[in-house]
Chain A
Amino acid sequence: MRSKLSFVGIAVLVLASTFCAGSTAQVKLLLPLRPRLSLRGNERILIAPFVVVKEDTQNNRSASKVDIQAEFVQYLAKNIAKRTRLQVIRPSSDMRLPTQNLIVLGQSQEYWRALGTASGAEIIISGSLEFRVEDRAGYKREEYVSPLTGKTQYREVYVEQNGSTVYIVILAFNGRTGERIFKDAFKDFHQTESYKADDTRQLFDNLFSLDGQIMNLFVTRAREAQRYLLSP
C-alpha cells in the first residue's frame, strides 16, 4: 500500500513538473514609442497655417462657428511648449499659404525654404484640418417584450445620433531645405447625445482623443502590449 501511494505521488509530481516546464506567463509591456520626428529636442519649430477643408452635405455640415485653424494652432503650440523643449514660433496674422491644394503644398519646397529662412525655424508644421458635425439619426429596429402578453416583439425606434469628425493631415518640413520630412493623417469620430451638442466641445473631444497620436510626433508615447514569457 505504501509503495503504491509513493508511486502515485511521484507520478503526479512528474506530470506536474512536465506541465510547469512547458507553461508560459503573460506579461504586459509598455512599448516606448520614440517621437516620430527625429529631433534634437531644442529646435525652433514654426506652426504655419493649415488648409481648412469645408464640405457640407445632407447629413453633415462643417462647424462654421468654430475657428478650427486658430483652435488647433493654439492647442498644438500650447502642448508642444508644455511637453517639450522645442521653441515654438506661431504664425503671424498675415502669413498666407501659397495654395489650398494639400498635394501642391507638400511639394512647395521653395516656399518652405524661404519661410524657414525668414523665420529662423528648423522645423515647419502645416497640413490640413477638417472638422464636421454629423447627423447620423435614423430608425433602428429593436426587441421589445410586451408587459401585457410577455411576448417578444420588434419595433422601429427613431434614434438621434450626433457626432463630430476631425480629420487632420500633418506635414513637417525641414526649415533649411524646404524638404518634406513627414506626412501622416489622423482621424477621430466622437459620438454625442444631440441635446449636448456643442461644436467647440466636440472639437476638443476629438482633439483629446487624438492627443497621444499627434503629440507622439514630438514626445515619447507608451503603447500597451502583451507578450508570453517562456518558463525555463
Chain B
Amino acid sequence: MPCLFVLSVPAYADNRTDNPKVQVAFGNKVARMNHWREAAFRYAQAAEKDSNYLAAHANLAVAYEALGNFEGALKEYKRALEIAPNDTKTRRNYTRFAEFYTSYTRTNGKAAPNAQ
C-alpha cells in the first residue's frame, strides 16, 4: 500500500522550477483560478526551457487570449500546431480563436485623430 501511495503522487511533486512540467502544472492550477498573468508567466518559462513542449505553447496561447494579447496567442497557437499538428484539443482551441480573431481584426476601425 505505501508503494501505491508513492506511485500515485502527481508529477509536480518534483519541485524543481526548471522542470517545464512543474511550471505547466502550476500554470494550470492558477489558470483555473483566473490568475492568467501568473499562468502566462509559468507557461512562458516552460516554453523557454523546452521549445518543443506542446502543453507549454498551447496553454500559453490560451493565457494570451485571456489577457487580450491576441497577436501573441496567434503566434503560440501556430507554434503548438507545428509541434503537434494532429492534436485535436489544440486544433479546436485554434479554430475557435481563429473564428473570433478574424472577426475582431476585420471589424476594428481605423485610428481616430491623435489616438496611439
Contact = CB atoms under 8 A, between A and B. Distances in A.
B62 A232 contact: no
Interface stretch (A28-36, A55-63, A102-110, A203-211): A28-36
A228 B93 contact: yes
B12 interface: yes
B109 A230 contact: no
Nearest to B23: A232
B115 interface: yes
Interface residues on B, range: 35 or more
Contact of B4 (A9, A32, A174, A184): A9
A4 to B, nearest CB: 15
B46 to A, nearest CB: 8
Interface in B79-116: 87, 89-90, 92-93, 96-97, 100, 104, 107-116
B62 A29 contact: yes
A232 B12 contact: yes
A27 B4 contact: no
Nearest to B116: A40
Contacts of A177: 113
A27 B62 contact: yes
A230 B62 CA distance: 10
Contacts of A43: 112-113
Contacts, number: 108
B13 interface: no
Most B Cβ at <10 Å: residue of A16, A27, A36, A182: A27
A30 B66 contact: yes
A24 interface: yes
Most A Cβ at <10 Å: residue of B58, B66, B100: B66
Contacts of B21: 232
Nearest to A216: B107
Interface residues on A, range: 35 or more
Given A228-B93, A232-B12, A232-B55, A182 B28 contact: no
Contacts of B110: 38, 179, 181-182
Contacts of B107: 36, 184
Given A29-B66, A40-B114, A172 B109 contact: yes
A123 interface: yes
A31 B55 CA distance: 21
Contacts of B11: 21, 232
29 contacts: A16-B8, A21-B11, A25-B28, A31-B65, A31-B66, A34-B68, A36-B108, A38-B112, A39-B115, A174-B113, A179-B110, A181-B111, A225-B96, A226-B96, A227-B62, A227-B65, A227-B93, A228-B89, A228-B92, A228-B93, A229-B31, A229-B32, A229-B59, A229-B62, A230-B58, A231-B25, A232-B22, A232-B25, A232-B28
Given A36-B108, A230-B24, 9 more contacts: A25-B28, A39-B112, A174-B113, A228-B93, A230-B55, A230-B58, A231-B25, A232-B24, A232-B28
